[in-house]
Amino acid sequence: MDPGNFATNLPAGAQFNYNLLWVLLWSNLMAISLQSLSAKLGIVTGKTLPENCRSYFSKPVNYGLWGLAEIAAMATDLAEFLGAALGFQLLFHWQLLPSALVTGMLVFAILSVEKLGFRQFEYIIMAFVGAIGIAYTIEVFWAQPDWGQIVSHMTLPHLDGQSAYLAVGMLGATVMPHVIYLHSALVLPRARGADKNNAKRHFRFEILDVLIAMNIAWLINSAMIVMAAAVFFRHGISIDSLEQAHQTLTPLLGSFAAVAFGIALLCSGISSSTVGTLAGQVIIQGFLNIRFSIFWRRLITMIPALVVIALGTDPLQILILSQVALSFALPGAIIPLILLTRNSLVMGEYVNRSWTTALAWMIASVIIALNIFLVVHLLFKGA
């Protein structure tokens, strides 16, 4: 869960009612497929996706992929820090810059826990995501949405020029290229010491893990749109900022709903910031073979986010833009993943079946087509 989800889902529901719920469903199915391929690559090869790219692709291609991955990592860092800082601001009425500094300190503390053991780190993230789920369950229950419209718009795709920008942002916020890189690394601690005979069993557990995690995230993201549509669209209220969304919820859903919103935003920012830091370390170590302290990585990547916050730019628009950037960076992660997992020299007996590769190429094509659609619309909407 990322603050980018808040920044794209809430305006999507407020501006377009339930119309973009199908984007979340499609994006979730895409993410499940790609995360599964990433996990399989890590389990079978014992290397991360960036490490495999360095082994099998030429240096120019590898450097290009690293550049795209770093753009995605920077966009992610920006969204995470902005979101957590806004959460502190909404809950405690702090200024945005001090809130961002406190966020940085908390992220360092959580990363220190990760050093003590992987399982403890997972429990912290699970607790944060659980808090988000509880908050939005409460808000959807109070909002009393139209369930008939929800089912209709979840199953029938509809996209036009006006909604394309948010739809692409929702796609980037759900599939997230940096998490594709990260998942190939997260399976490695459990894969060490396992022989080939256990690879299939390990992969089956990873599939179950992905299905549970991604579907919980899908339900929470869908709840955001449902809540925004039922509360804001229904009452003709537009959302120009996340601060405004927090204030508007107070008279409509009660003060507790507003507090739940602030807690969910804060938790998503802190938890996703730690995940983003781990992903950034996997990216630079894998593509460039550079051993880089995770704490130095966090310190360096904090700087652009703090600069943007200090400049006083519009947080909501920056958050949405960062998620659109993630969507445009996705092919840089997906295409190498497909090329590697379909290669029998890399995967051996675990190489993709033909239908798996075809499905993966279809996913890549849909993402590229949506990105092109947005570019064409932005270029010619004033013509």
Q: How many domains does the chain have?
A: 1
Whether the pLDDT of residue 64 is over 60: the answer is yes
Q: Can you say how many angstroms the Cα of residue 147 is from the centroid of all Cα atoms in its chain?
A: 26
> Who has greater pLDDT, 107 or 368?
368
> Who has greater pLDDT, 375 or 380?
375
Which residues 6+ apart lie within 8 Å of 58 measured at CB? none
Handedness of CA 333, 336, 341, 346 (dihedral sign): negative
pLDDT of residue 63: 94
Which residues 6+ apart lie within 8 Å of 44 measured at CB? 199, 346, 347, 348, 350
Report the interhelical angle of 96-116 vs 59-92 (nearest 10°). Answer: 120
Whether the pLDDT of residue 265 is over 70: the answer is yes
> Who has greater pLDDT, 2 or 346?
346
Instruction: State mean pLDDT over 163-187.
Output: 92
**278: its two tokens:** 């781990």
pLDDT of residue 382: 52
Report the SS3 class of residue 309: helix
Whether the pLDDT of residue 271 is over 80: the answer is no
Which residues 6+ apart lie within 8 Å of 76 measured at CB? 2, 4, 176, 178, 272, 276, 279, 322, 326
pLDDT of residue 357: 96
Contact criterion met (CB below 8 Å) for 165 and 297: no
CA distance 152 to 286: 43
Full residue range of the structural domain in which residue 182 is found: 3-380
Encode burial over 212-228: b for 16+ CB neighbours within 10 A, e otherwise.
Answer: ebbebbbebbbbbbbbb
Contact criterion met (CB below 8 Å) for 323 and 75: yes
CA distance 229 to 41: 39
CATH of residue 39: 1.20.1740.10
Contact criterion met (CB below 8 Å) for 309 and 85: yes
Whether the pLDDT of residue 383 is over 50: the answer is no
Contact criterion met (CB below 8 Å) for 54 and 47: no
Model confidence over 283-303: pLDDT tens digits?
988 998 887 777 777 777 777
CA distance 88 to 267: 10
pTM above 0.75, yes or no: yes
Instruction: State mean pLDDT over 244-262.
Output: 71
CA distance 250 to 258: 5
Q: What is the mean pLDDT of the chain?
A: 85
Instruction: State mean pLDDT over 312-338.
Output: 91
User: Residue 326: how many CA atoms within 13 Å on its side-chain side?
Assistant: 36
CA distance 253 to 4: 23
CA distance 73 to 284: 10
Encode burial over 19-34: b for 16+ CB neighbours within 10 A, e otherwise.
Answer: bbbbbbbbbbebbbbb
pLDDT of residue 34: 96
CA distance 360 to 333: 12
Cα distances from 86 to residues 1, 269, 274, 324, in angstroms, run 15, 9, 17, 20
Whether the pLDDT of residue 73 is over 50: the answer is yes
Whether the pLDDT of residue 306 is over 70: the answer is yes
Which of the residue ranges 21-35, 103-117, 133-147, 202-216 would you say has the lowest mean pLDDT?
103-117
